[in-house]
Structure formats: C-alpha cells, structure tokens
Structure 1
Amino acid sequence: MNNLVFCTNVSVTASTYTTSDAIAKYAGITRKSVNELIRRYKKDLKDFGLLPSEKEVLVGRGQPRKVWHLNRNQATLLITYLDNTPQVREFKKSLVWQFDAMQQELLERRVSYQAAKPVSKSLGESIKSSAAFDGNPFAYSNLNGLVYRQALGMTAKQLRDTRHIPQSRAITQYLTVKETAAVAKVKRQIAMLLDMGLDYSRIKAVLGNQGIVYNATLNVPAPAATTG
C-alpha cells in the first residue's frame, strides 16, 4: 500500500488527499460500491471541505469516469461506513501512516521555505547596493537565473515548465528541502561576492569552480482536480 496519499501539486501550499480508486483497491471493495457511498453521504463529506474529482478517460470507452479526491477527514469518515474486515483495518492503518508522512514532508518544506526568505531579501539588498550592477535593469533576473543553474543544474524556465509553476508564483515554493538549501547557499554566496564588488562574469566564474550544489530532478505534478 504505497500509493494511498497524494498532493494536489508540488508547491509548499499543496493539500493532501486520497482517491476513491485507492480506497476501493486497498480496502478490497468495488469502485462502484465506493462511488455509491460517496454519492449517498456527499452532504456529510462536504461538511469537511470541497469534494473535488477528476475525469479519467478509459481507453476504448467513450464515457469518462469520475475519480473522487477526499481529504484526510473525508476519507476517515467514509471508511467508517465500510465493513470492518481485516483488509479494511490494514488499509485504515496504512492510510493514517501515509497521511502523516506526507503532511510531515509538507511541513518540513514550508519551514524550509520560510527560513530561506531572509536569504532572498538579503540578496535583493546586495543587488540594489552593488556598484557593478548600478542601473542594470536585468541584474536581478540574470543573477536569479544564475542561482538556479548553479544550485540545481537547470534553468528557471525548466523548473517552471516541468513543475507547472505559474508566473505569479515563486519557484522557491516548489522546491524540496534539499533544493531549498542549495538555492539558499548559492544566494548567500552571490550576496557575499556582490558585497566584495564582483561583477556578473566574475561571480559566475567563482561559482563555476565549485560545481552544481545539488542536481534536482524535474518532477511533474499530478493533474489538477475539478470540484464537483
């Protein structure tokens, strides 16, 4: 039972959920039975939040089927309506463990993200006060791009494209704890080099000597659900 709990996206603001398919598979009941329970108790389930769903198109069939997304409280409530068989009891335990693990990981990422904010602010202040970048309108974007290439071995555009990061959201909200640490390290280094009066080419050369801090992977998030 390794795939019970998922995240709505890969940002630090993501929510956790399980699906009607996962409940059916690991509780040992049919999808039809789970969907009937959800429809029967839909009002009760919505007392614990929205009840999103996604459409899954089956190969060779014209009519897509609905897969429900349930948050922790909704899933817990729904399970109380199931027969308490040995398989259902094992499923309940696994579901609790995986919700805990996923939420702990999100908490660690949120703490890491908040802790790195002052580093970004410090870099911005160093750029503003740097004589080497005085009057350069592209100073921040150029150095920001250098940060991701040097810290993670990829461009900001690659990260945005593969992780579906909106232009209105900060890339740092979509990084793992290790990626956040690597980015913060490079930002601190650049701020220090700016304070020493180095220009872009010299900063790039200095950072290039140490190599990439952490090779990130291009994670692709799951499709967004629709409310229903």
Structure 2
Amino acid sequence: MNEIVFLSSRDVYAHTYTTSDVIAKYSDSSINTVSRLIRNYQTDLEEFGVLGFEIRKPKKKSVGGRPRKIWRLNEEQTMLLITYMDNTQPVRRFKKALVSQFSAAKRALYERQVQFALGKEFSKDLNQAIAESPHLDERHRLYANINKLIYKQALGISAKVLRQQRHIPKNTPITHYLDSNEASAVKRVKGQVITLLGIGLDYQQIKNALQVQGIIYQITLPAKQLMGEGH
C-alpha cells in the first residue's frame, strides 16, 4: 500500500485524494462494486466537496474496450464511503493505511506551505536589498537576474530548466512547486545574498562568495535535460 494517496499537482497548495480503483483493490472489492457504491451515495459524498473523476482509456485496444470513469475522492469522502462498506479485514487494514498516508501527505504539504510563506518574506527583503544596493549595475539590479544566480546556487539548476521540468505555468511562482528541502535551500541562499548585498559586494563578488560553499541541495535531472541546460 505504498501508493494509495495522491496529490492533485506538485503545487504547494495541492490537495490529497485517492481513487475508486485504489479503494477497490485494497478493500478486496470489484471496481464495479465501488463505482456503484459511489453513485448510490453521491449526494452524501458531495457534502464534503466536489466529487472529481478522470476518464481513462484502455491501455490496449480490444474488442469492446471502452474508456471508463475513475473517481477521485478526498479524505472525508473516502472515509465516509468506507463506512458504507462491509467491515471486513481488508477494509479495516486499508482504512488504517489511509489514515496514516493522508496524515503524512498533509503534513508534508504543510511543511512546504510554511517554507513557502517564509520564502515570500525573504523575497521582499531581497527586493529591497537589491533596490538599495549602490554596487549593482543596471543589468544585475533586476531581481530576475539575481534570482537566476540564487536557484543555480541553491539547487544546481537554472530556474528556467526547473520550470520546464516540472511543467510550472508561466505566471506561477516556482516556489509553489518546491518541496521543503528545496525551498529551505533557496531561502538560505536568498538570506546569504541579502547579507552580501548589505556589506557592499557587487554581483560578481556575490557569485564568487556563493560558489565557495558549493550547491546547497542538488536536484537531479534526466540526462537529456542536463545536456540541454548548458551553464
């Protein structure tokens, strides 16, 4: 039962869910039985949020093979649905695993949200430090250029490549898509840049100082993307 709870996206404000297929598998029920149970109690389930679904096509073309609906249920909907099932040993075992994994997923999201909130404050301070620095030329005074340096030093890859790898929408901050370790690394380097700006270093001096310590938290990319990143 390693994968029974999922995130709706990699965004820091994603929500957790499980699926009708997972419920069927680990409650020792058929997919049709679980789907019928969801339809029968759909009104009850929708009191706890929108009942989502996805349409999945058959992996292989076969005679009579048709796309089918896979339901997505949030934590409250899942727990309610299980109360409508027979209290068999597989169901009880599955329910304990669900409680554990929903809690772990929510805890991980909360940690990311805390890091994101702290990072926003650091970004405000960084913007101010850049604006007040007399030692940055016009090009390096732009937040975007300083930000490139920060991501490269914190995570070992450019912000552009990270955005491409994680399919981050153009107008969405990258920090929405960082886990707690990645966000902590970025926050740490931002703090260092603020300090270095405060003592009067220019861009090249800041870059040299950061490179001495090495990359804080290296993100590993597929070989194809690493080749395309350049420097």
Alignment of 1:110-125 (within 5 A): 110-125=113-128
Q: Could you tell me which amino acid in structure 1 is paired with residue 6 of structure 2?
A: F
**Cα shift readout 1:138-196 (whole Å, capped 9, x = no counterpart):** 62111101111100011111221222211222111211111111101111111122222
SS of the aligned residue for 2:213 comes to coil
- 2:229 paired residue number: none
Which residue pairs with 2:58 in the alignment? 58
Task: Say if 2:133 and 2:197, in contact at 8 Å, map to a contact too.
Answer: yes
Task: Measure the CA separation in 2 of the matches of 1:214 and 1:59.
Answer: 38
Is the contact between residue 140 and residue 203 of structure 2 (CA under 8 Å) also seen in structure 1?
no
**2: distance between equivalents of 1:187 and 1:101?**
29
- State the Cα distance separating 1:60 from its structure 2 match: 2.1
Provide the secondary structure at the position in 2 that maps to 1:68.
strand
Give the TM-score of the pair, scaled to structure 1: 0.90
Give yes or no for the alignment of 1:168 onto 2:176. Answer: no
Looking at structure 2, the residues matched to 55 and 105 of structure 1 have their Cα atoms a distance apart, in angstroms, of: 28
Measured in 1, the distance between the counterparts of 2:60 and 2:185 equals 46
Stretch of structure 1 that moved more, 161-170 or 73-82 = 161-170
Higher relative contact order (CA 8 A, sep 6+): 1
1:142-157 → structure 2 map (5 Å cutoff): 142-157=145-160
> Are residues 1:81 and 2:84 paired?
yes
Aligned to 2:185: 182
Q: Cα distance, 1:111 vs. partner?
A: 1.5
One-letter amino acid matched to 2:212: N
Equivalent position SS for 1:47? helix
Change (3 A) 1:137 1:211: closer
Contact 1:128–1:134 (CA<8 Å) still a contact in 2?
Answer: no
| CA positional deviation for 1:212 | 0.4
* Cα deviations by residue, 1:7-66 (Å, 9 ceiling, x for unpaired): 111122110001111101111111111111111111211111111111222122352221
**Structure 1 gaps, min length 5:** 220-228
Report if aligned partners of 1:56, 1:67 keep a CA contact under 8 Å in 2: yes
1:199 maps to which residue? 202
RMSD: 1.7
Identity %: 48
Matched, 1:2 2:5: no
* TM-aligned CA deviation for residue 198 of structure 1: 2.1
Deviations 1:97-119 (A, max 9, x none): 11111111111111122123221
Return the letter of the residue paired with 1:169. T
Structure 1 counterpart of 2:135: 132
| CA distance in 1: counterparts of 2:58 and 2:29, whole angstroms | 20
Q: Which runs of 5+ in 2 are unaligned?
A: 223-231
Please report the TM-score for the alignment, with normalisation by the length of structure 2: 0.89
Q: Structure 1 residues 54 and 109, CA, compared in 2 at 3 Å: closer, same or farther?
A: same
User: Matches of residues 32-71 of structure 1 in structure 2 within 5 Å?
Assistant: 32-61=32-61, 63-71=66-74
Aligned equivalents of 2:216 and 2:38: distance in 1?
A: 47
